Amino acid sequence: MINIEPIKAFNDNYIWLLTTNEGSIVIDPGEATKTIKYLKENSLNLEGILITHHHFDHTGGIEDMLKFKSVDVYGPVNNISRINKQLKDGDLFSLIGIDFKIIEIPGHTLDHIAFFSNNNGKPILFCGDTIFSSGCGRVFEGTFEQMHESVLKLKSLPVNTKIYAGHEYTQSNLQFAMEVEPLNQKLISRYNDVQNLLNKGIPTLPTTLELELEVNPFLRCQTSEVQKSVVKKFNTSNHEDEIFKALRQWKDNY
C-alpha cells in the first residue's frame, strides 16, 4: 500500500509525499520547511528525494531537506549537483518497496524525466511540469516536436494510470480547453467537479489518463474536434505536430 499526499508550496505547486511501510519519499521539494514539518508531525522516515527537472520551484528545498536527513537524491542528468543518482530513459530502481521506471520527457526543460510505477496494476505517474490536468507545460528549452513526442509517450501508458502533476492549474486549463472544444460535454462536467473540489480546498489531482484523454486538448490533437478548432483559428494543416504546436502557442497567448 502506498499513501500519497500533496504538500502545497508557493502559489500552486504540489510536492508529492509517498509513504509505504518502508518509509517516505518526496518528489520535487521546491521548499523544505513545510515538507519537514509534515514529516515530523506524522513521524515519517524520509528515505529519498526524487526530482523531475531542474526548475527552482521543484528543487529549491533539496539543500535543507538534506540537512534534515542525508538521503539519496534521484533525478535527471543536469546541473543540480545534489542529485547523486542520475537517471536516464528506461532506468529502473526501487525505493521504499516501489519499483520505478524512468521516462525521459524533454520539452518543458531538456532534462525533464517522469517517474512511473506499475504499482501492482494500479499505475502511478509523477510527471512534473509536462502534463497537467487539461493542459501541458510550457515549452521552455526543447522544441514543440520534442514536447509533443514526450506527451505522446505518456499518452501510451495504461489508461488507469493516476497522474500526479506538479501544479494546480486545472481550473484555468479547463477554461482554455472549453475555448478549444466548446461542445465537449466531458469538459463542462469536469469543470463543475473541479470548482466543487477547489471550493472545498481539495486538490484536483491526481487525475487519470482515462479522464485526460477526454478533457486535455494536448492529448487530443488526433481528434477532429481539436483539429477543426485549431485549423479554423490558425489555418494550419491537420498534421498532429502542427496542431500541437499551434495549440501550445494559442495557450501561451491566452
- Identify which of 50, 43, 40 has the alpha carbon closest to the alpha carbon of residue 18: 50
Alpha-carbon distances, residue 7 vs 76, 173, 184 (angstroms): 22, 21, 32
Q: Determine, following the binding rule CB under 5 A, whether residue 155 of this chain makes contact with Zn ion.
A: no
Number of residues located near Zn ion, criterion CB under 5 A: 2
Residue closer to Zn ion, measured from CB, 53 or 245: 53
Q: How far is CA 115 from the centre of its chain?
A: 10
Least distance in Å: CB of 106 to Zn ion? 12
* Bridge partners for 117 per DSSP: 124
Which of 54, 55, 220, 245 touches Zn ion by CB under 5 A?
A: 55
By beta-carbon proximity to Zn ion, the closer residue of 123 and 166 is: 166
Q: How far apart are CA 32 and CA 8, in angstroms?
A: 11
Q: Does 47 bind Zn ion (CB under 5 A)?
A: no
**Residue number with CB closer to Zn ion (19 or 170):** 170
* Whether 74 contacts 96, CB under 8 Å: no
Q: Which of 104, 129, 168, 212 is the binder for Zn ion (CB under 5 A)?
A: 129
Taking contact as CB under 5 A, which single stretch among the options 51-59, 83-91, 197-205, 241-249 is the one that binds Zn ion?
51-59
| Closest to Zn ion by CB, 132 or 191 | 132
Residue type, 60: G
As a whole number of angstroms, the distance between CA 133 and CA 184 comes to 16
Please name the residue ranges forming H helices in the chain: 33-41, 56-59, 62-68, 144-155, 170-180, 185-199, 209-215, 224-234, 240-252
- Binding region for Zn ion (CB under 5 A) out of 52-60, 143-151, 199-207, 233-241: 52-60
From the list 13-21, 48-56, 115-123, 224-232, the region that binds Zn ion by CB under 5 A is 48-56
Stretch that binds Zn ion, among 36-44, 55-63, 142-150, 213-221 (CB under 5 A): 55-63
Query: In the bound complex, what is the minimum distance in angstroms from residue 99's beta carbon to Zn ion?
Result: 26
Compare residues 20 and 78 and give the one whose CB is closer to Zn ion: 78
The values of phi and psi at residue 41, to 5°, are -60, -30
Binding site for Zn ion (CB under 5 A): 55, 129
